[in-house]
Structure 1
Amino acid sequence: MVDALSCIPAPVLRNLADKLYEKRKNAAIEVEGIVKQMSSTGEHEKITAVIKLLTDEYTFSPQSNHRKGGLIGLAAVTVGLTSEASQHLEQIVPPVLQSFSDHDSRVRYYACEALYNIAKVVRGEFIVFFNQIFDALCKLSADSAANVQSAAHLLDRLVKDIVTESDQFSIEEFIPLLRDRMNVLNPYVRQFLVGWITVLDSVPDIDMLGFLPDFLDGLFNMLSDSSHEIRQQADSALSEFLQEIKNSPSVDYGRMAEILVQRAEAIDEFTRQTAITWINEFVKLGGDQLVPYYADILGAILPCISDKEDKIRVVARETNDELRSFKVASGEGFDVGAILVVAKGHLSSEWEATRIEALHWISALLDKHRVEVLSFLSDIVDTLLKALSDSSDEVVLLVLEVHACIAKDTEHFRNLLVYLLDAFQNDHSLLEKRGALIIRRLCVLLGAQTVYRELSSILQKEPDLDFAFIMVQALNLILLTSSELSELRELLKQSLVNCAGRDLFHALYASWCHSPMAIISLCLLTQTYQHASTVIQSMVEEDISIKFLVQLDKLIRLLETPTFSYLRLQLLEPGRYTWLLKALYGLLMLLPQQSAAFKILRTRLKTVPTYSFVGEQKYWSTPPETSHSKISNHVDIELHYTQDGVMMQDGENMSNGINFDSRLKQFKQMQQEHRVNAKSQAQLRKSSVNMTKEVQRPEENEQSSSTTDTNQPPQSVKKPPAQL
């Protein structure tokens, strides 16, 4: 076995471990000459022995000066070997790499210097150690010593040069190493990594784009770094990759789309903007590859539509429009259910613009994939109904359009109205705040007559009589006041002469019976004045409640609106429209004299001109001398004329097929049910109060009775809130 001590003079070995750099340097030069001589004579066994001596006795020595000498000695051996150094690299490089983690910063510095000199000699031959070298350089890039960082940067540049010119570099082996370090937060390491990504991407023979999904997330992570320089470098690298994607025919859009979707939700504004820009390009370029990811992409886009940053909002809207314009068949990986889930989730977004776009998506899906959407209807209908309570009128109108689109089928139409009435019943504020808007819009979208007929059919069988009363009052008020229902009002006015009007009158009457005031309003609208008068005359004491008087007040005021202008003009012919007069006087008699409505109606009736009676005598069964005052004071005159002034036979009470006797019976029966219900509820309330008193302690009862002022007058009855 060769003795290395015999190969190198003792003074040289001693100087190699000297504390002075110059002595170590001179000793290394002598080692270089000795190795060069050995290499020229082929004495590789001696060279191996020298390398082992330098490794064991110097680089692994506990003395830092020895370690420094060993490193400079190994570099000298490599320089001396020149072209033959490659066969000894397995001995030379590992101890140098191990020295990169030495606790002495000077040793780490000399390790950088040594590997630099070794790399200059062997160049591409040391690519086999690239992964270990890269790992070492990654750590040294964040070294605490500035001189070590500086030396590592020099070595890093040299290694990059060697890699870019080498045909032995394996990108497949390098990528896992890069991926594992991409989420490191140290700014120096981040700069180091971005530098390598940029350099390798510039090499034509290295396909970094194909491995982009492996480190794309890390690059996006750097966009929010506190260092402006790092953000700029990461953005520059991403911009270059995006340009390459535009020019590349084959890219794995799917894997990257998953990353971009997550980054679009980032807190950092710059990261969101970059992510949404990438998504925008992907939607334009990805085509069928992105179909399975539509739901995820939509989930990222919708919040960005309401982003506080204008640039993000603009790109998000453009992307959303582009995505929605795609024509994809359901069987091609397009998951309608998943997209519906995303849209449904964003209906509760705090941002109006996002909620609006979510509704546009549901509407678009209904238009293109109706069957699939209806199969998921039970999953979204509750959310759509809740959206009717939205604070935005635009959102509510869009929700109604979606509902109307669903309700194109007869089955879904009825279900919609049932769901809607349930929503009104469970949330009275929805009825008060949005009821008119909802009903009016549905009438426009689905047809006023169709909507009112169906609602009336449902309410006719409504077991909750109190709710039915409220709902009928609401529908009646909408019918009398909304411009959208003008055609429906005109049809009802023809009930006595038109079959369609008669059928509609029948359809509404059944549920309108829940409210006396609604029935009276309907009769005035349909010009069935005799029946209106009969209904008024049939009312009993229990019917004249505060609720009734409130609604009557509203009706009197409505009689002064353009809706009832025809009725007011008919008062010019009291001889022809005597039942109208009788009905109005009947209402007047029900009103308290001190009320404003009483004064309004009385004033209107006083304006009926006396001259209108002249020439109208043929319509009266009383003497011709009947005057205006006499009509006013004798409203109980028994007349038997149709609305057209034609005398009816005794006992006849039908016109255009309407059996008013039957209708009156129907009304009375419904009102009796309401009275029974009211009494039942009153008894329940009384029982509840009695039970509460019974559970009170005796002292509480005593105290209560002792503090009661028997002379205090009863509190006035509070007027209930006006219904819609």
Structure 2
Amino acid sequence: GKVLQIARRELSSDFEATRMEALRWIQSLVLKYRNEIIMYMDDIFSSLLNALSDPSEEVVLLVLEVHACVAQETHHFTNLVTHLLSNFKLNNSLLEKRGPLVVRRLCILLGAERVYSEFSIILGKESDLDFAATMIQALNLILATSAELGELRSILKQALMNSSGKELFLSLYPSWCHSAMATITLCFLAQAYHHASCVIQSLEEEDINVKFLVHLDKLIRLLETPIFSYLRLQLLEPEKHTWLVKCLYGLLMLLPQQSSAFKILRTRLKTVPSSRLSDAMTRLLPAPHDITIRTEYGNGNPEQDAASIYNSIDFPACLDQFVRMKEKHNEFAKLKPPPTWNPASGLDQGTSMHMDPGLSSSSSFTQDEVKREEMAPPYLALPLPDINRPPSRAS
């Protein structure tokens, strides 16, 4: 216990090498004397969490290794994720600066599916809906862009074909409902295009504001990355993936025509074979035909196996869940006090403190336009958001 206390004290040293050595001592003690050390972990847990804000990335990576050593058991793992989310909630800059690094590294050390499922469970119970939406948007962006989560995306891609993909999709879906764009992205990753189309059709006037359009802009740009190459190739067969085409046209109709995202998506849709597209759009195929059947799935007839998995997902119930969550967010927004206008700065108090990185860092929207987002629709070109930065609490 005394050695552990000394190591904890040295975590606040001004010297990076000292902090690194203290972490190595803690890691060695956990590995060699786990049962004896675990009972003292509560005494240093907060210090280890605070170390995630260390200016040195090397220190942060080593802190995460120590956390992973402790979090082998389920209750310690749940405790880690719970406290990590609390820290993100209290310290928004930690989420912006370290969030992607922390999440990606934990996925490597503890397993991406385990980490994401636990995040989803805890965020599903979060009472602060703004924070829940912000965190889900961050997790969704990491899921859709990080190389470390490639295996998780591969599992999701088979959500309509095998049970493991289905279970992952259903474990993430409830908390992903906190964000419309996250829900649509999840459906695209799972190739659940029919359901994505239903989600898009369920959006109403009050759902479409500046922040929504900024996140939609990010999604359109994500669709042009190598990770979504499978989706773009499916556009070569519009008669087979009719619901995908309808989804993309639905998103196109939500974008201002002068925005760069509108032009990007319209250009992509122009590449769809026109002769086959016209035939496909005259008759929408049943949803199961959106599935690309591959013979390696299932022991019997592969098409029947895939259809069975698809039919076992209650998509109408999922849509109801999304709509209910959307309504909760709308009610939550109405209960919040209106922002206070500060004539000196020309900003809303609160808007200036929690500006979405997608709006503040590389956005062509002005601060005044963000303030007026509920008063008038945006007609300016959408920004070029940095898709590698997680959203802030204001998103």
The TM-score bracket by the shorter chain reads: 0.7 to 0.9
TM-score by length of 1: 0.45
Q: Which protein shows a greater Rg?
A: 1
RMSD: 2.3
Mapped to 1, the partners of 2:93 and 2:179 lie a distance apart of 21
User: 1:554: which partner in 2?
Assistant: 218
Residue 338 (structure 2) aligned to one of 678, 682, 685: 685
* C-alpha distance after superposition, 1:449-499 (max 9, x if no partner): 000011100000100100000000000001011111100000000000110
User: 2:193: which partner in 1?
Assistant: 529
Mapped to 1, the partners of 2:370 and 2:99 lie a distance apart of 28
User: 1:12: which partner in 2?
Assistant: none
Residue 471 (structure 1) aligned to one of 114, 135, 151: 135
Tell me the CA shift for residue 346 of structure 1: 1.1
User: 1:640: which partner in 2?
Assistant: 286
Contact 1:499/1:656 (<8 A) preserved? no
Runs (4+) of structure 1 exceeding 4 A deviation are 718-722
After superposition, the Cα gap between the structure-2 partners of 1:592 and 1:488, relative to the gap in structure 1 and judged at 3 Å, is: same
User: 2:97: which partner in 1?
Assistant: 433
In the alignment, is residue 384 of structure 1 matched against residue 48 of structure 2?
yes
Residue 115 (structure 2) aligned to one of 407, 430, 451: 451
Mapped to 1, the partners of 2:292 and 2:242 lie a distance apart of 9
Contact 1:654/1:660 (<8 A) preserved? no
Other structure's SS at 1:563 match: helix
Mapped to 1, the partners of 2:43 and 2:74 lie a distance apart of 20
Mapped to 2, the partners of 1:419 and 1:391 lie a distance apart of 20
User: 1:587: which partner in 2?
Assistant: 251
Which stretches in structure 2 are left out of the alignment for 5+ residues? 294-306, 342-366, 374-382
Mapped to 2, the partners of 1:553 and 1:559 lie a distance apart of 10
In the alignment, is residue 716 of structure 1 matched against residue 380 of structure 2?
no
Report the residue type matching 2:370 in the other structure. V
TM-score by length of 2: 0.81
Mapped to 1, the partners of 2:47 and 2:16 lie a distance apart of 16
User: 2:323: which partner in 1?
Assistant: 668
Residue 170 (structure 2) aligned to one of 502, 506, 513: 506
User: 2:358: which partner in 1?
Assistant: none
Report the residue type matching 1:378 in the other structure. D
Tell me the CA shift for residue 369 of structure 1: 1.4
After superposition, the Cα gap between the structure-2 partners of 1:602 and 1:388, relative to the gap in structure 1 and judged at 3 Å, is: same
* C-alpha distance after superposition, 1:134-174 (max 9, x if no partner): xxxxxxxxxxxxxxxxxxxxxxxxxxxxxxxxxxxxxxxxx
Mapped to 2, the partners of 1:607 and 1:383 lie a distance apart of 54
Report the residue type matching 1:640 in the other structure. P
Other structure's SS at 1:424 match: helix
In the alignment, is residue 417 of structure 1 matched against residue 87 of structure 2?
no
Tell me the CA shift for residue 370 of structure 1: 1.2
Which structure 2 residues correspond to residues 6-85 of structure 1 after superposition, within 5 A?
none
Greater fraction of residues in helix:
1
Contact 1:653/1:660 (<8 A) preserved? no
Other structure's SS at 1:348 match: coil
Mapped to 2, the partners of 1:641 and 1:360 lie a distance apart of 53
Report the residue type matching 2:317 in the other structure. S
* C-alpha distance after superposition, 1:234-257 (max 9, x if no partner): xxxxxxxxxxxxxxxxxxxxxxxx
User: 1:407: which partner in 2?
Assistant: 71
After superposition, the Cα gap between the structure-2 partners of 1:409 and 1:659, relative to the gap in structure 1 and judged at 3 Å, is: same
Mapped to 2, the partners of 1:717 and 1:382 lie a distance apart of 36
Contact 1:653/1:661 (<8 A) preserved? no
After superposition, the Cα gap between the structure-2 partners of 1:715 and 1:402, relative to the gap in structure 1 and judged at 3 Å, is: closer
Residue 182 (structure 2) aligned to one of 518, 523, 526: 518
User: 1:7: which partner in 2?
Assistant: none
Between 1:652-661 and 1:468-477, the stretch displaced more is 652-661
Other structure's SS at 2:159 match: coil
Tell me the CA shift for residue 723 of structure 1: 3.8
Contact 1:502/1:656 (<8 A) preserved? no
Other structure's SS at 1:575 match: coil
Contact 2:197/2:246 (<8 A) preserved? yes
Other structure's SS at 2:369 match: coil
Tell me the CA shift for residue 645 of structure 1: 8.3
Between 1:419-428 and 1:542-551, the stretch displaced more is 542-551
Other structure's SS at 1:391 match: coil
Other structure's SS at 2:11 match: helix
Mapped to 1, the partners of 2:151 and 2:52 lie a distance apart of 26
Other structure's SS at 1:655 match: helix
Other structure's SS at 2:370 match: coil
Tell me the CA shift for residue 611 of structure 1: 5.1
Tell me the CA shift for residue 656 of structure 1: 4.4
Report the residue type matching 1:452 in the other structure. Y
Mapped to 1, the partners of 2:215 and 2:273 lie a distance apart of 28
After superposition, the Cα gap between the structure-2 partners of 1:468 and 1:492, relative to the gap in structure 1 and judged at 3 Å, is: same
In the alignment, is residue 541 of structure 1 matched against residue 196 of structure 2?
no
Report the residue type matching 2:338 in the other structure. R
Report the residue type matching 1:659 in the other structure. D
Tell me the CA shift for residue 372 of structure 1: 2.2
Tell me the CA shift for residue 546 of structure 1: 1.5
Greater relative contact order (CA < 8 Å, ≥ 6 in sequence): 2
